[in-house]
Amino acid sequence: MRVLVAGATGYMGAAVLRELVARHVDVVALVRPGRSLPESIRTVVTVVEADVAEDADWSEQIPAVDAVISCLASRNGAPDDAHKVDYDANRRLLDCAERHNVGHFVLLSAICVQKPRLAFQREKLRFERLLHDSPVPGTIVRATAFFRSLVGQIDRVKAGKPFLLFGNGELTACKPISDRDLARFIVNQLDEHREGTVVLPIGGPGPAIAPAAQAAMLCEAANVPLKTRSLPPRMFDWFRWVLTPLAGLSPRFAKRVEFLRIAKFYATESMLCWDHDHQCYDADATPEFGNDTLAAFYQRILSGDESVPERGEHRLF
Ligand SMILES: NC(=O)c1ccc[n+]([C@@H]2O[C@H](COP(=O)([O-])OP(=O)(O)OC[C@H]3O[C@@H](n4cnc5c(N)ncnc54)[C@H](OP(=O)(O)O)[C@@H]3O)[C@@H](O)[C@H]2O)c1
């Protein structure tokens, strides 16, 4: 089987590449010109340098493949970039998959699209609908929070500063998943024979963890006393109200306003399955996969056995 991986230079794309290579799958990695893959990977996959979001003729370089895995995503979540990448680049990839009669299109999406309040969530959903309507069978993996999204306070805690919580630290919860476990889950989908398109929400091994428990876990791993400080999630609204009049004057401020919406969303919404009937999040209904726990991940980072994943522009996610 030959598999095309788009978004191969990203956090999850890289983990998917490692998993495919470990399983000896023939891989074509699509990367933007000038971006590189680690040497251990570069030497065992076929690298195609093309910009799926910009180049008109990018797909001419793509050899015949049996399946496509898309880990493409806007790196910052700004509305114009989300449209360009989460929707349009994926649309171009799907066009190419349809022309090549590809047997399976696996899309890495996010569980938060079930409550689409943000521009990037709407763009992801728009593409999910295209995939549903496509003749190419699809799997939409709606993942919960990555471990990488839960490393933002490690330096604060190490420095003896309090862990920042919104409200009482119990407003939200998630079942965090490691890049390795999620990559395994994604690659496992290639073994499934699909007729149409399915949506699979997925989290890591339970139970669901609220930020208060996350604070306790991190302080224990850092061997420091548990110290927290509560912030009101409405602070993001206050900043947004101040910036909103400027948003019409400059795209820079318009982006800041959207980033504040994103931050408020993650401070107040859980990354768990949403129960429409009872209008609440349901931890029990959120499927679990894998073995890696957040507590063990924090222990490895604090003991120096693993480095903190690079977060790039994802600081607000
Ligand atoms: N963070 C979380 O906790 C979380 C939870 C659930 C689901 N998710 C979802 O998981 C997905 C993958 O996330 P990730 O953290 O792996 O993303 P990431 O590290 O930001 O990687 C994004 C990938 O998309 C590519 N890309 C971005 N803009 C592009 C453009 N204009 N043209 C071509 N390629 C472009 C990047 O290429 P370059 O290297 O060239 O920039 C990179 O390979 C996203 O859809 C995200 O919403 C995230």
Mean pLDDT of the chain: 95
Q: Is the CB of 149 under 6 A from ligand 1?
A: yes
Using the atom order of ligand 1, give the atom closest to the CA of residue 317: 1
Q: Is the CB of 82 under 6 A from ligand 1?
A: no
Query: 250 near 256, Cβ under 8 Å?
Result: no
The predicted pLDDT at position 316 comes to 44
Q: Is the CB of 7 under 6 A from ligand 1?
A: yes
CATH for 2-147+178-202 is: 3.40.50.720
Q: Is the CB of 143 under 6 A from ligand 1?
A: yes
Q: Is the CB of 76 under 6 A from ligand 1?
A: no
Using the atom order of ligand 1, give the atom closest to the CA of residue 9: 43
Indicate the range of 129-133, 199-203, 246-250 predicted with least confidence: 246-250
Which of 146, 181, 289 for a ligand 1 pocket mutation test, highest count of atoms within 8 Å of Cβ?
146
E strand map for 33-159: 46-49, 67-70, 104-110, 138-143
Query: 92 near 85, Cβ under 8 Å?
Result: no
For residue 207, say if its preceding peptide bond is cis, omega within 30 degrees of 0: yes
What are the sequence ranges of the domains in the chain? 2-147+178-202
Confidence of residue 311 (pLDDT cuts 50, 70, 90): confident
249 phi/psi in degrees, rounded to 5: -90, -30
Which of 72, 91, 92, 118 for a ligand 1 pocket mutation test, highest count of atoms within 8 Å of Cβ?
72
Using the atom order of ligand 1, give the atom closest to the CA of residue 31: 40
- Residue 196 predicted with pLDDT over 90: yes
The predicted pLDDT at position 317 comes to 35
Nearest CA residue ID for atom 48, ligand 1 = 110
Q: Is the CB of 53 under 6 A from ligand 1?
A: yes
Q: What integer is the mean pLDDT of 41-52?
A: 96
Q: From the CA of 60, how far away is ligand 1's center (Å)?
A: 23
- Residue 315 predicted with pLDDT over 70: no
Q: What integer is the mean pLDDT of 205-220?
A: 97
- pTM, two decimal places: 0.96
Q: Is the CB of 262 under 6 A from ligand 1?
A: no
The C-alpha atoms of residue 90 and residue 58 are separated, in whole angstroms, by 13
The predicted pLDDT at position 313 comes to 58
Which of 51, 85, 202, 294 for a ligand 1 pocket mutation test, highest count of atoms within 8 Å of Cβ?
85
**What count of other Cβ atoms lies within 10 Å of the Cβ of residue 232?**
11
Q: Is the CB of 85 under 6 A from ligand 1?
A: yes
Q: What integer is the mean pLDDT of 203-212?
A: 97
Q: Which residues of 238-271 are buried (b: 16+ CB within 10 A; e: fewer)?
A: ebbeebeeebeeeeeebbbbbbbbbbbbbbebbb
